[in-house]
């Protein structure tokens, strides 16, 4: 292994322009998505965290940017949004439209007037927020508010009408204005909206994240159905599972009629995970095969524990590599500089081993030494049960204590089990489907 080995190809972050070369495993799906965009069809992308939703958005944008005929007739806009509030979404959307559109892109609309009204609205909102933020409510009276507001108008925005600003920021007027902008755009607009899968449960209203998102999409339906726009959203897996098909609620059968399709990113199979690993390893400075980088037993355990989630696999791998390197670095620092090649013994095995994998998952599963021994044992033996005398001797546990620990590991999802012909539980590590 080269001394300048870098973990950069094993990044757990979404792949961007300089790292998209590491992408593998969903090429056909990306092609299908690209064709939908060319046909101006809205769609969503869903999957568990770490399955590559943001990466696919970045790849789609890169592919579209490389098509000259497309960029001449389209405007690509992308932004993140995690607040399930239609008013905030509309303000953010209008702001981004004003940033990306030019007067030459529009017909029958004076863009400068809209921009001035928007800047005035922003200033007004910031002023009103400052009253709440910096002045205790009990110390504010009507006279103070009027005086402060009068000073604000005179010094900053004396030529504008307050009523005009209030009307401008009303949700129904924002929708009207955005629709007007989009309808009069000379170019087709393609929107990539990320992080919608991060909308969470609201304890105040007792609404789930998926219900809050469904409500937001319903309010935005008029905008999303415009013929001059195409929308691509990342969506939470819970939203997909709840709204994909419900024959008792026809309006939700096709996702409120907004999306032509929803692409579900499944966890990788065992084979595809290894292919991803091989692609990343070959892109690094490492010279050798997978088996030269990681012990086969350690690789099997890593595949079992990550269960096909690309980000989780890479996270455990990076951690395991760092745990492996720490003692090697200390050994190099303490080695005798007078050693000669003749005095050197056989080079130690520098591959990632099971103990490195177990150390890497400790951050998530908080395993004690005995549980680590149990997992290491199963990684080598493939299976075990509470009456396994060799495992009892290895861990120093009696049958009842071992049985309790095996059940706890199964309850936390680290282990799985099946019943043999006598109804006895046989424990194994979770396998990829």
| Residue 338, domain member (yes or no) | no
Domain contains 72: yes
CB 430, CB 413: distance < 8 Å: yes
The reply to whether 242 and 293 lie within a common domain is no
Q: Which domain holds residue 148?
A: 8-265
Let me know how long the chain is: 433
Q: Does residue 314 share a domain with residue 232? A: no
pLDDT-derived band of residue 433, with 50, 70 and 90 as boundaries? very low
Residues 154 and 185 in one domain: yes
In a domain, 85, yes or no: yes
Note whether residue 306 is domain-resident. Answer: yes
Rounded to the nearest 5°, which phi and psi values hold at 49?
A: -55, 135
Residue 387 in this model has a pLDDT that exceeds 60: yes
Whether residues 187 and 294 share a domain: the answer is no
252 and 291: one domain?
Answer: no
Q: Residue 341 falls within a domain, yes or no? A: no
pLDDT at 121 over 80: no
End-to-end Cα separation, the chain, in angstroms: 33
**Mean pLDDT in the chain?**
81
| Same domain, yes or no: 92 and 148 | yes
* Final residue in a domain of this structure, among 206, 238, 265: 265
pLDDT at 404: 93
In a shared domain, residues 295 and 195: no
373 and 407 share one domain: yes
172 belongs to a structural domain: yes
Both 224 and 237 in one domain: the answer is: yes
Give yes or no: residues 210 and 109 share one domain: yes
Same domain, 235 and 319: no
Structural domains in the chain (count): 2
Helices 296-306 and 310-334: crossing angle, nearest 10°? 140
Does 60 lie in the same domain as 191? yes
Q: Domain boundary at 265, 298, 316, which?
A: 265
> Which pLDDT value is given to residue 382?
87
What integer pLDDT is reported at residue 83 of this predicted model? 75
pLDDT at position 4: 67
Q: Final residue of a domain: which of 265, 288, 319? A: 265
Domain containing 40 — which CATH number?
3.40.50.300
Q: Would you say residue 249 lies in a domain? A: yes
Asked if residue 340 is part of any domain, the answer here is no
Q: Give tens-digit pLDDT for 406-425.
A: 999 988 888 889 998 888 99
| pTM of the entire predicted model | 0.78
Q: What percent of the chain has pLDDT over 90?
A: 39
Q: Which of 302-306, 327-331, 391-395, 405-409 has the lowest mean pLDDT?
A: 327-331
- For residue 81, the model assigns a pLDDT of 84
């Amino acid at each position: 292994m080269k001394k300048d080995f870098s973990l950069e190809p094993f990044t757990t972050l979404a792949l961007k322009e300089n790292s998209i070369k590491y992408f593998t495993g969903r090429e056909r799906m990306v092609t299908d998505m690209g064709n939908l965009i060319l046909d101006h069809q809205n769609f969503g992308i869903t999957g568990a965290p770490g399955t590559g939703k943001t990466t696919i958005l970045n790849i789609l944008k890169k592919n579209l940017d490389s098509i000259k005929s497309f960029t001449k007739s389209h405007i690509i806009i992308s932004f993140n949004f995690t607040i399930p509030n239609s008013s905030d979404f509309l303000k953010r959307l209008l702001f981004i439209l004003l940033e990306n559109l030019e007067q030459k892109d529009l017909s029958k609309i004076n863009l400068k007037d809209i921009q001035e009204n928007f800047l005035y609205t922003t200033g007004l909102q910031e002023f009103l927020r400052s009253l709440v933020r910096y002045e205790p409510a009990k110390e504010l009276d009507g006279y103070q508010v009027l005086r402060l507001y009068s000073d604000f108008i005179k010094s900053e925005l004396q030529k504008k009408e307050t009523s005009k600003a209030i009307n401008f920021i009303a949700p129904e007027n924002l929708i009207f204005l955005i629709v007007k902008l989009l309808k009069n755009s000379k170019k087709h607009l393609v929107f990539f909206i990320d992080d919608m899968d991060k909308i969470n449960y609201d304890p105040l209203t007792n609404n789930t994240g998926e219900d809050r998102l469904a409500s937001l999409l319903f309010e935005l339906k008029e905008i999303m159905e415009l013929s001059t726009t195409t929308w691509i959203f990342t969506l939470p897996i819970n939203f997909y599972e709840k709204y994909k098909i419900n024959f008792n609620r026809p309006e939700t059968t096709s996702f409120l009629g907004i999306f032509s399709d929803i692409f579900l990113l499944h966890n990788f199979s065992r084979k595809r995970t290894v292919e991803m690993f091989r692609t990343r390893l070959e892109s690094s400075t490492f010279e050798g095969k997978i088996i030269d980088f990681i012990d086969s037993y350690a690789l099997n355990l890593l595949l079992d524990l990550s269960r096909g989630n690309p980000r989780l696999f890479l996270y455990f791998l990076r951690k395991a590599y760092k745990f492996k390197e720490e003692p090697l670095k200390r050994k190099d620092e303490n080695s005798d500089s007078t050693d000669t090649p003749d005095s050197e013994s056989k080079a130690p095995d520098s591959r990632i081993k099971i103990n490195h994998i177990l150390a890497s998952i400790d951050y998530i599963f908080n395993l004690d030494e005995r549980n680590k021994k149990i997992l290491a044992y199963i990684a080598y033996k493939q299976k075990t049960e509470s009456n396994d005398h060799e495992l009892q001797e290895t861990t120093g546990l009696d049958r009842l204590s071992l049985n309790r620990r095996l059940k706890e590991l199964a309850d936390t999802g680290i282990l799985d089990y099946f019943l043999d012909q006598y109804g006895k539980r046989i424990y194994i590590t979770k396998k990829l489907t």
